[in-house]
Structure 1
Amino acid sequence: MWEMAIVKPVSKKNNVTDIKDLRPISILPCPSKILEKVVCDQMTEYFDANRTIYSSICLVSLADIRTAVYKLNEDLARIAKWSQANALTLNPNKTKYILLGTRSQVQKMSYSSPVIQILNEQIIKLRRLDGSTHACKTEQCAGGVARNMAEALWRLRDGRVRLLTAIGDDSDGQYLQNIAPGLLLEGCVVQNARTAVYAAIFDKKGECTLGLGDMDVHNQITVDLVDRHINVLRNAPLVVIDGNLPLSTMEYILRLCKKYEKPVFYEPTDRRKAVKALSCNQQFISYASPNMMELRAMANYLKPNNNINKSNDLEEIINLSKIILNCIHVLLVTRGPAGVVTIKAVEQNNILSKNNKKIEVRHYTSEVLNTLENVSGAGDCFSSGFINGLLLGLNEFESIGAGFCAAKDALLSKKTVPDKFTKYNYYKKVVYDIWYY
């Protein structure tokens, strides 16, 4: 009776129209938790005495583990079938199993790698971090979204770029200054401060499994620092900002860009910071390059609970973009190996009337590379190549091609920004599909 739960449906959103809009919450009485602890202690003592171990679904002896794994796979198959029947999706790549038990029990386990599958794809065991030392290879390179873009543009435009940021007067700060001499504006070095550092741990497939960031120095990018270099901004053909800026500084820069009629390219940085520019009194932005997660965050900020259909990636991108186009003129939605989708409002038949505006959507296909050195920085280099194309007076598809070329160089380099970029062939054909809505 103590383990008999009362299940209460709780709404996931304000307007409930379907059973899928409800989340089941199990309510258990407090005595059940006390009883669980008592039973757990008694069972642990028994299994320790009888040399049995924990499996991932029940408490069994070593001889029964194969049976337990078989039954677990049967249960997972039933769950997957039920999920598909109820419009839910299980992702094997984001699913892991864990072995529960004392340290000695788990270490004694001889059958430590059972084959557990979801949708015919094997899932792996979650590795518990226990403070032990693991062999790895370490590399240091310059990073930061706006910094990467500034360095890439500095190399693409023969040094005709300046970066306003904040770095510490430490060895890391000196390292950044030496990479691109003359890139940083005066006053960007903060005394007794730590240069921003991001530590990423990658698995053997090159995918990031953990990221740690020390970004406090970004708070030193102040309005006063911007005012010291107001002439640089006034003379710039285009201004690039990223989501790491303090909100007050970002608002001030956007007001200045509006005053001086400067186009702004916004790099959202990540899904949590993506909405920053949208909260700046709805200042209009010329370009933005979100990925799919950032695009969703931006649309949800402007229109919460938008209930956009996610059955088709392209359709979802279009519907989300329609919400954002009131604040951003051109969206470049980056999709990794799937290419880039550009969305913008255009005038129909050159008639300057609000009622005649249409949504132009172009899907650009990128080259598939068989070998990659590093995926970090490729998106920043793509944006930099695209911006360089715009500043050279190229049209959209030529600028996209220049962006793809820069991104390819980054993917084939161990550094976030390669030391040298391939000269782009402006006559090279760029493949894309186009639709109007």
Structure 2
Amino acid sequence: RGGQTNAGRVRRTFGGVGRNLADCLSRLGQTPLFLSAVGKDEHSESVLHYCHHMDMSAVLQLEGKSTATYCAVITSAGELSVGLGDMDIHQQITEQYVSQFKENLCQAPLICIDGNVPLSTIQYVCQLAKEHQLAVCYEPTDENKASKPFLSDSWKVLTYISPNLQELRAINRTLGNPLPAELPSKLEDVVQIAMALARPLLAHLCCVVVTLGAHGILLCGKSLRGSISLHPGAHKQAAGAQLCATHYPAIHISRDEIVNVSGAGDSLTAGILAGVLAKHDTDTCVRMGLLAAHLSLHSYEPISPEISTSSVSQQQVKSRSWPEVKVWKMD
């Protein structure tokens, strides 16, 4: 207030939802091709240097454009207070540009899209997925961008989405579904609201991964032999399966240990997808995601440099004791 200078610490890190997913998947032994756009400026040089462990060959570099920059004010508790984004360059990730990589997309075991991509590009990728039966994960990014695929029937070809409760509510608002008057904070109430909001989406989606912050995650989908299958296509063969929701508590971390929450959700999603790509069972996939998120909460970088195939793995999952999961029937 009043325009005064407020004392703080300033750090530069490298983020962006799609970049975070590609970063984390690369650290977990996968080989994602990252499609994005940057300017030809000082920021892009730094980004490309930092991301040397990733395949950045499909990142478009444009003269006269500014690399996307996001300024986040983080409280002493590690929570986001306010954010300021200069994201205009995302509009250059056009349908025409992405179509140059059609062959790569059609051969990929999984395509991830974030909410920063223009609507027409999201619709193009969804149409491609429909024609070629491709698995697609949509990471909603934030409450204002969450609904992009849901503005048309594009969303019906998505395989997974990974919203938080606010994003899930925004999606249901776009679809004209009933909404809760307010979002609760007590876990039991949160679970009931999340199940009600996920329920109409599961007519088409394989799985809705609702991220619940300190409460962990709620996995919603069709139960096959007592477990929700995360493998693409499995839900379509499950004629007699029941809709279920499984709650996985987060790994405990004290507020004093939290350095930054900004990349935890992306780490969670990427950890789960790495497990899916490695064909692990559902519990292992989810717990790989929880391990990755836990590491990133301790890191100033959105994706912790400590994430690796040894720190986040099936072996690490098996070596830990985990709190009991709770299952609800949604029908």
Give me the TM-score of the superposition, normalised by structure 2. 0.86
1:288-367 aligned at under 5 Å gives the runs 288-306=161-179, 312-346=189-223, 356-367=240-251
Q: What are the residue-to-residue correspondences of 1:370-409 with 2, within 5 Å?
A: 370=254, 371-409=257-295
Aligned CA distance change for structure 1 residues 393 and 429 (closer, same or farther; 3 Å): farther
Equivalent residues of 2:38, 2:65 under 8 A apart: yes
CA distance in structure 1 between the partners assigned to 2:39 and 2:263 by the alignment = 22
* 1:206 to partner: Cα distance: 2.2
User: Match of 1:21?
Assistant: none
Equivalences, count: 307
Identify the residue that residue 50 of structure 2 maps to in structure 1: 179
Partner of 1:40: none
Give me the whole-angstrom Cα distance separating, in 1, the residues matched to 2:15 and 2:183: 33
- Judging changes above 3 Å, is the alpha-carbon distance between structure 1 residues 200 and 342 closer, same or farther for their aligned structure 2 residues? same
Verify: 1:271 aligned to 2:155, yes or no: no
User: 1:164 — aligned with what?
Assistant: 35
Deviation at 1:180, TM superposition (A): 1.9
Letter matched to residue 144 of structure 2: R
Identify which of structures 1 and 2 has the higher relative contact order when contacts are C-alpha pairs closer than 8 Å and 6+ apart: 2
SS in 1 for 2:268: helix
| Corresponding position of 1:434 | 327
Matches within 5 A, 1:22-171: 129-157=1-29, 160-171=31-42
Deviation at 1:353, TM superposition (A): 7.9
Whether contact under 8 Å (1:240, 1:264) holds in the other structure is yes
| CA-CA distance at 1:328 after TM superposition | 2.3
Aligned-partner SS, 2:203? coil
Match among 156, 159, 165 for residue 286 of structure 1 = 159
Deviation string 1:261-304 (CA, Å, 9 cap, x unpaired) is 21111100111111111224243211111001011111122124
The TM-score with structure 1 as length reference comes to 0.66
SS of 1:188 mapped into structure 2:
strand
One-letter amino acid of the structure 2 residue matched with residue 290 of structure 1? P
| CA apart distance, 1:179 | 1.5
Cα distance in structure 2, aligned partners of 1:429 and 1:212 = 40
Post-superposition CA distance 1:298-321 (Å, at most 9, x none):
112212444579662111111111
Tell me how far apart the structure 2 counterparts of residues 423 and 259 of structure 1 sit (CA, whole Å).
34
How big is the shift at 1:331?
0.5
3-state DSSP class of the match of 2:142? coil
Question: Structure 2 CA distance, aligned partners of 1:395 and 1:429?
Answer: 17
RMSD value, Cα: 2.2
Q: Any unmatched runs of 5+ in structure 2?
A: 227-234
Q: Does 1:368 align with 2:252?
A: yes
Partner residue of 1:216 out of 79, 88, 96: 88
Alignment of 1:235-246 (within 5 A): 235-246=107-118
How many angstroms does 1:435 deviate by? 2.0
Task: Give, in whole Å, the separation in 1 of the partners of 2:306 and 2:236.
Answer: 44
Query: 1:351 offset after TM fit, Å?
Result: 11
Q: Which moved more, 1:391-400 or 1:222-231?
A: 222-231
1:348–1:358 Cα contact (<8 Å) kept: no
The answer to whether the 8 A contact 1:385-1:399 is kept is: yes
Deviation, 1:420, is 2.9
1:227 paired with 2:99, answer: yes
Larger radius of gyration: 1
Q: Residues 286 and 330 of structure 1 are in contact (CA less than 8 Å); yes or no, is this contact kept in structure 2? A: yes
The answer to whether the Cα contact below 8 Å between 2:72 and 2:80 also exists between their aligned partners in 1 is yes
Code of the aligned partner of 2:107: N
| Percent identical residues | 29
Counterpart Cα distance in 1 of 2:4 and 2:68? 27
* Structure 1 residue matching 2:73: 3-state secondary structure: strand
Pair 190,357 (structure 1): closer, same or farther in 2 beyond 3 Å: same
Structure 1 position 197 matched with structure 2 position 57 = no
Deviation per residue, 1:372-428 (Å, 9 max, x gap) = 221110110111100000000001111001001111111111111122311432424
Which runs of 5 or more residues in structure 1 are unaligned? 1-128
- Residues 315 and 423 of structure 1: CA distance in aligned 2, closer, same or farther (over 3 Å): closer
